[in-house]
């Protein structure tokens, strides 16, 4: 069976309620599909108008459903009339065999009534009718999806026209507080979260949501060697400094065991000065290989700019003291030293394979966002064009 591209559009309400991680986790573990694209969208008047018009007539066999969805999108997605501030939604792309059917089955119908929590809409959505008249009093579908290849293609073509202007880092959203003390910071979910279907990525997002910060940007990507070298460039000097701290003691212990007499670490400072760059080079290569799947020393020049074989998810959070709040919930770089309940303690393995990266300052966040080019994502546009030209 050929691969298909399906989408999930997380509505503004569950994003405001910080249910994003739970929804993403449900799709990751209930399907064998690959999450291949993610964009945060602040829908413009024009996008809402065109999307509402499409939904009003997209399924002539079910006019009530069309009316429910079109009315819902007009109400939930329309920018604030007075200020023009948008609402945040999130577009996710999933790829794999029979993807459209699998996504629809995990999503569930809007008319399910058994409330068992089996589907995304059963857990996160609501459809309330007046028991006497049958009139819908409240409707929250949690997510929007397409049930057929025709509908998926039509919706994605429509949204792709607006993604360049409406997606990226969403600024001034209705539920995101402003002010001079507001910061943006980057969280990057590392490759260890994506090597097999699991709850990890969604659970990490849920833990981060406990900080009260808001997601204002998201990008699913494969880091290139060139990006990794620039992104982690400052780490090289730190590796040299750290080696000079512990290297002399470890070298003294090794030499003492080898030669059978005590060796004073104080005499090995010069040796460590020479070894430190070699140690830093090796560890730096290990980091780049972990993040990209390629060792820089084995990478041909023409391969350096190509996306690697490992996957990451970049998430931009915004709010008061965003940098310190994120670093606190992540915990110490070494998972063994991180406090219980922190992300790295719960999901990390070692200093490198520690679940997530977080910017250590607002300045570094801006540098890292620039390197990863969070504002733009041609990969999403190319995927849509490939499957739905």
Give catalytic residue positions. 357
Find tokens 């857990």 and name the residue.
Answer: 123
HSE-up of 342 (CA within 13 Å, CB side)? Answer: 23
Nearest to 198 by CA among 99, 311, 101, 78: 311
**How far is CA 148 from each of CA 1, 55, 57, 152, 311, rounded to the nearest angstrom?**
16, 14, 15, 6, 28
d(CA 250, CA 272): 10
Spatial neighbors of 249 by CB under 8 A, at least 6 apart, are: 265
Q: Which long-range contacts (CB under 8 A, 24 or more apart) does 72-75 make?
A: 72/139, 72/140, 72/141, 73/48, 73/144, 74/48
Q: Which two tokens stand for residue 200?
A: 């990890």
d(CA 185, CA 119): 32
Nearest to 147 by CA among 120, 107, 177: 107
Per DSSP, the chain holds a count of helices (H) and strands (E) of 15, 10
Residue 285 phi, psi dihedral angles, 5° rounding: -60, -40
Spatial neighbors of 356 by CB under 8 A, at least 6 apart, are: 187, 188, 189, 190, 193, 204, 330, 343, 344, 347
The string over 69-82, giving b where at least 16 C-beta atoms fall within 10 Å of a residue's C-beta and e elsewhere, is bbebbbebbbbeee
The helix or strand, by DSSP H or E, that contains position 145, with its residue range, turns out to be none
Task: Tell me if 326 sits within 8 A of 185, measured CB to CB.
Answer: yes
d(CA 123, CA 208): 21
The helix or strand, by DSSP H or E, that contains position 169, with its residue range, turns out to be none
Length of the chain, in residues: 389
């Amino acid at each position: 069976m050929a691969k298909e591209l399906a989408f999930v559009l997380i509505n503004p309400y569950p994003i405001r309620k910080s249910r994003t991680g739970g929804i993403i986790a449900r799709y990751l573990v209930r399907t064998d599909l690959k999450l291949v694209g993610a964009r945060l969208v602040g829908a413009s008047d024009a996008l809402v108008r065109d999307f509402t018009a499409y939904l009003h007539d997209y399924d002539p066999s079910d006019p009530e459903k069309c009316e429910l969805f079109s009315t819902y999108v007009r109400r939930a997605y329309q920018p604030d009339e007075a200020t023009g501030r948008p609402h945040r939604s999130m577009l996710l792309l999933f790829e794999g065999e029979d993807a459209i059917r699998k996504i629809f089955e995990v999503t569930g119908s809007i008319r399910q009534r058994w409330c068992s929590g089996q589907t995304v809409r059963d857990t996160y959505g609501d459809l309330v009718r007046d028991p006497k008249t049958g009139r819908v009093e409240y409707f929250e579908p949690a997510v929007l999806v397409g049930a057929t290849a025709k509908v998926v293609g039509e919706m994605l073509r429509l949204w792709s026209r607006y993604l360049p202007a409406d997606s990226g880092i969403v600024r001034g959203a209705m539920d995101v507080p402003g002010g001079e003390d507001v910061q943006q910071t980057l969280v990057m979910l590392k490759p260890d979260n994506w090597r097999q279907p699991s709850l990890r990525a969604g659970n990490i997002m849920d833990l981060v949501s406990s900080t009260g910060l808001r997601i204002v940007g998201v990008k699913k990507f494969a880091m290139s060697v060139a990006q990794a070298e620039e992104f982690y460039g400052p780490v090289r000097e730190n590796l040299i400094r750290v080696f000079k701290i512990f290297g002399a003691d470890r070298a003294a212990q090794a030499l003492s065991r080898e030669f059978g007499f005590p060796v004073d670490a104080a005499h090995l400072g010069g040796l460590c000065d020479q070894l430190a760059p070699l140690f830093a080079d090796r560890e730096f290569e290990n980091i780049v290989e972990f993040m990209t799947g390629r060792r820089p020393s084995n990478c041909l020049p023409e391969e350096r700019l190509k996306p690697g074989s490992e996957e990451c998810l970049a998430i931009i959070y915004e709010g008061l003291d965003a940098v310190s709040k994120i670093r606190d919930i992540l915990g110490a770089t070494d998972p063994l030293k991180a406090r219980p309940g922190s992300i790295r303690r719960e999901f990390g393995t070692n200093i490198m394979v520690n679940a997530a990266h977080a910017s250590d300052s607002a300045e570094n966040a801006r540098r890292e966002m620039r390197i990863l080019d969070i504002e733009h994502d041609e990969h999403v546009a190319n995927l849509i064009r490939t499957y739905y030209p």
